Amino acid sequence: MLMFNSILSSIGNVFAILAKNSRRVLSRLSVWRWTKVWLRSSFLPSQNYLIILAVVIGVATGFGSVGFIFILEMMANIARGPVAGMLERFGPAQLVLLPALGGLIVGPIVHRFAREAKGHGVPEVMTALALHGGRIRKRVVSVKVIASSLTIGFGGAAGREGPMVQIGSAIGSTIGQWTKLEPHNVRTLVSCGAAGGIAATFNAPIAAAIFSMEVLIGRIQTDFLLVLLTSLSSCMVARYFLGNFPAFVAPTYDLVSPVELPLYFIMGVLIGLAAFIYVKSLYWSEDAFSSWKFPEYLKPAVGGLLVGLLLRYFPEIYGSGFPAIESALWVRFSWELLLGLFVVELLANCATLGSGGSGGVFAPSLYMGAMLGGAFGSFVHAVFPEVTAGSGAYAMVGMAAFFAATAKAPTTSILILFEMTNDYRIMLPLMAAVVGSVYMSHRLSPFSIYTLKLQRRGIGFPGSMTPDNNTEKLGQLGASTKKAADT
């Protein structure tokens, strides 16, 4: 009732304003500006305005994510169909050339229109939050969609969730700037858009909201309710078009014996070490390509060629690699192949993103965790067959443990595995492995795969530098970066 009376009162105020200034309003206000005036006068004094914007961002991100998935599938069909047909004359080398061709197209597009679109994108969102008040260039959405669909569709070893995070964040930033909100509220809407992208990718609205607060913001706060609302809205749109299915179809696994828990913890420690090696390798790859005296826009093609050479012998790493993950969960790979795929995926992902290709690190982390966990599970099940589950259970747990170690996000990892598989009975082994992996990861480095890039740029996130220090750092980044952020 109070809400209803408030709305009626606000509508009355708007009509009073119109009656007083009708000629000026009718002559100067466009439909969009009139809509913003009405919304502001009606809802902004309370949190209702932000609630409406959160839902709008969720719906927009949901449609954007669905569209991106369709474009990605279309691009993959084109690459594996007509393009591969034209390359048949090269015989087995056609699979080698596909990622290189994708990189050859992506490089100039990213270099010319939006350099923020290269790599896995999440650190760019975090940089916008830390330095630019959440402002992200509008063109980033279109460039990221094109670049990522080409990179992944043509065989680049990268995930689709990174682009969705950047796309959703750009939508939230655009709406926040369009409605002329305060920087704090713009940053909140950027986090909302990021959550919407993850929710639509993995059909995991709760874990997506936690990811946004745990990784992008660094803590849970009152804005979590808005982030959760956007996540739910985006997920509902994605479910309508893509169906309400878990991200992975896997057998139901359980803890066979309490003796297994120490084994899962040991696996987590090993995965934490492997995750540390992966993060270091990724940034070494970026530094190596960056220091190479070679045209910037051609480097993704070289990275694609390296990936193609790996694809020639390990086609299971093509694109996001979800089919291979499901095969590991269903125990369809030998331990030798599982271990080999872990190494090859690490190399391919570093070549793809380090050279400037566009994609994410979330899905590759799940991939490497599944392969390494499955290999460990094969070993312990062979040694202790009576008290251990099959390798598929360890592959499932390894997925979350690896991402927990790379992103320093244990809560997100635990929740997203539950939402991706609809299997709660594996929670105790999962918690043991995540504790082990995050413990080892923190012992080796205080930075996540996302915050390490900010640390290398001298940007505090979150709270390690004062706002004044970050402002000073913004000035040091150069006039071109600041101009790009304001565009």
Query: Between the CA of residue 424 and those of 189, 255, 457, what are the distances in Å?
Result: 31, 11, 40
**Cβ partners under 8 Å of residue 13, min gap 6:** 41
Q: Say whether 260-453 and 48-242 share the same fold.
A: yes
Query: Which is nearest to 269 in space by CA: 21, 443, 48, 8?
Result: 443
pTM of the shown model: 0.81
Q: Which two tokens stand for residue 260?
A: 């297994």
pLDDT of residue 218: 61
pLDDT of residue 251: 74
**Cβ partners under 8 Å of residue 394, min gap 6:** 264, 267, 373, 374, 376, 377, 378, 380
CB distance 353 to 285 below 8 Å: yes
CB distance 127 to 329 below 8 Å: no
pLDDT of residue 486: 45
Level-2 CATH architecture, domain 260-453: Orthogonal Bundle (1.10)
Give first-to-last CA distance, the chain, whole Å. Answer: 43
**Superfamily the domain 48-242 falls into:** Clc chloride channel (1.10.3080.10)
CB distance 399 to 373 below 8 Å: yes
pLDDT of residue 31: 53
Q: Going residue by residue through the chain, which has 487 residues, state the pLDDT in tens, using 9 for 90 and above.
A: 444 344 445 444 544 544 455 445 444 445 545 555 545 544 444 457 788 888 889 999 889 888 888 888 898 888 888 888 888 887 777 778 889 998 999 989 888 888 877 877 788 888 888 787 788 887 877 888 888 888 888 988 888 877 888 888 888 998 888 888 888 888 888 888 888 888 887 778 888 888 887 777 665 454 677 888 888 888 888 888 888 776 667 777 878 888 899 999 999 999 999 999 999 999 999 999 999 999 998 999 999 999 999 998 999 999 888 889 999 999 999 999 999 999 999 999 999 999 998 888 888 999 999 999 999 999 999 999 988 888 999 999 999 999 999 999 888 888 888 877 777 778 889 999 999 999 999 999 999 998 888 888 887 765 443 344 444 444 444 444 444 444 4
Q: Which two tokens stand for residue 251?
A: 């057998």
Per domain, the residue ranges of the chain are 48-242, 260-453
Q: What pairs with residue 119 in β-bridges?
A: 358
CB distance 206 to 419 below 8 Å: yes
Residue 78: how many CB atoms within 10 A of its CB? Answer: 15
pLDDT of residue 45: 45
pLDDT of residue 36: 53
